[in-house]
Amino acid sequence: MKAISLLNETRQVQLIDVPEPEIERPNQLKLRILEIGICGTDREQVEAGYGEAPAGTDHLVIGHEMLGEVVEVGKEVKSFRKGDYAVLTVRRGCGQCAACQSNRSDMCMTGLFTERGIKGRHGFETEYVVDEQQYAVKVPAELVQVGVLTEPMSVVEKAIEEAVALQAARIPQAKAATWLIGKRTLVAGLGPIGLLAAIALLLRGAEVIGLDIVDEGSKRPDILRRLGGTYLDGRKVDTATLDARLGQVDFILEATGVAELGFQLIDALGVNGIYVMTGIPHGDRPVCITGAEMMQQIVLKNQLIMGSVNASTLHYAQAIEDMQKAKAKWGDLLNEIITTRLPFQQYREALDLRSENDIKTVLLWDKPSEQV
């Protein structure tokens, strides 16, 4: 079968032939890949040769945002049947730490975890995959059009879950389930993560201000506005005046991966506010900040600044629940986050796509059997 692989020797991405995987243990299931989302991580793998092949092989099959259809299940698999749509999580535990032993490899303490398509384990840009049922989450048929967004949505779910749990733990009378109601939130970066965060925050009753550096009339601000959020063009505002301009901001979710902006935005955070960074910047350019002023603010305003990465199956399930709610509330608006679908053979073109109107690009491997 075909697979899009990063070759060790050349550090180049190519379409190669690999053996089709088979179920080897009774707790495994086999999926036919339908769609794979492309994100910044994939693009870095292509550009910088980032990514680690499984031990003993000369290539890494890339791709970590997937949607598949179950074609076969092992004897012990009771919660999935042939024909079900499902997604697989990305990270596989180290087998040593308490987090991994409780299926929470997203909080792995040893760093010895692997990640499908990224670190030491083949990914999903291929025709079939096999994995254990504990890493699979069912996608209802009504979400088949957007199921490929489950992985980025799971990242958002984890960030928000952590933020509200922490706020509930430290602010008198605050409760995790209701803390976001009426809160002013700022989402920086309106790529897939940012727009999905806007959706999750609006579903929880928050006010959402989305910041990006694209034209008012382009696709991202348009989707944000139709969801009910407000757009702010980062090129037209001075980040140092955001606090005066926006008033009390209770929650910031950063999804730009731009270090300088990430630090500048701390200034916009309000009293008792919480700031979650999810972007992963690269490079070694120093960031210039007025340290004393920033530290003063963080201390005097009881602020919490944290990072969040990856997600557990619980967050994938929450992602699916929220996508169902989003569909009920906004109809097919969620589908518009997927701006391009290309056949997998056009992977090079897909990896190159990035303009202000490209949000999520998806590679098509096969059609759901319902639509065949």
Q: Does 188 bind Zn ion (CB under 5 A)?
A: no
Question: What does the block give as tokens for 60?
Answer: 């890494």
- Smallest gap, in angstroms, from Cβ of residue 257 to Zn ion? 12
Q: Is the sign of the CA dihedral 183, 332, 142, 88 positive or negative?
A: negative
Stretch that binds Zn ion, among 89-97, 191-199, 211-219, 355-363 (CB under 5 A): 89-97
Q: Does 100 bind Zn ion (CB under 5 A)?
A: yes
- Smallest gap, in angstroms, from Cβ of residue 115 to Zn ion? 10
Stretch that binds Zn ion, among 38-46, 121-129, 286-294, 320-328 (CB under 5 A): 38-46
Residues 213, 215: Cα–Cα separation, whole Å? 7
Among residues 34 and 100, whose Cβ is nearest to Zn ion? 100
Q: Tell which positions 334-363 bind Zn ion, by CB under 5 A.
A: none
Among residues 192 and 234, whose Cβ is nearest to Zn ion? 192
Among residues 29 and 108, whose Cβ is nearest to Zn ion? 108
Q: Applying CB under 5 A, which of residues 31, 33, 77, 97 lies at the interface with Zn ion? A: 97
- Smallest gap, in angstroms, from Cβ of residue 275 to Zn ion? 22
Q: Tell which positions 108-147 bind Zn ion, by CB under 5 A.
A: 108, 110
Q: Does 39 bind Zn ion (CB under 5 A)?
A: yes
- Smallest gap, in angstroms, from Cβ of residue 116 to Zn ion? 11
Residues 6+ apart with CB under 8 A from 262: 188, 254, 256, 277, 279, 281
Q: Does 94 bind Zn ion (CB under 5 A)?
A: yes
By the 8 A CB rule, do 232 and 206 touch? no
Using CB under 5 A as the binding criterion, the count of chain residues that bind Zn ion stands at: 7
- Smallest gap, in angstroms, from Cβ of residue 193 to Zn ion? 9
- Smallest gap, in angstroms, from Cβ of residue 298 to Zn ion? 30
Among residues 149 and 258, whose Cβ is nearest to Zn ion? 149
- Smallest gap, in angstroms, from Cβ of residue 54 to Zn ion? 18
By the 8 A CB rule, do 203 and 195 touch? no
Among residues 6 and 100, whose Cβ is nearest to Zn ion? 100
Among residues 41 and 89, whose Cβ is nearest to Zn ion? 41
User: Which residues of the shown chain bind Zn ion in the complex (CB under 5 A)?
Assistant: 39, 41, 94, 97, 100, 108, 110
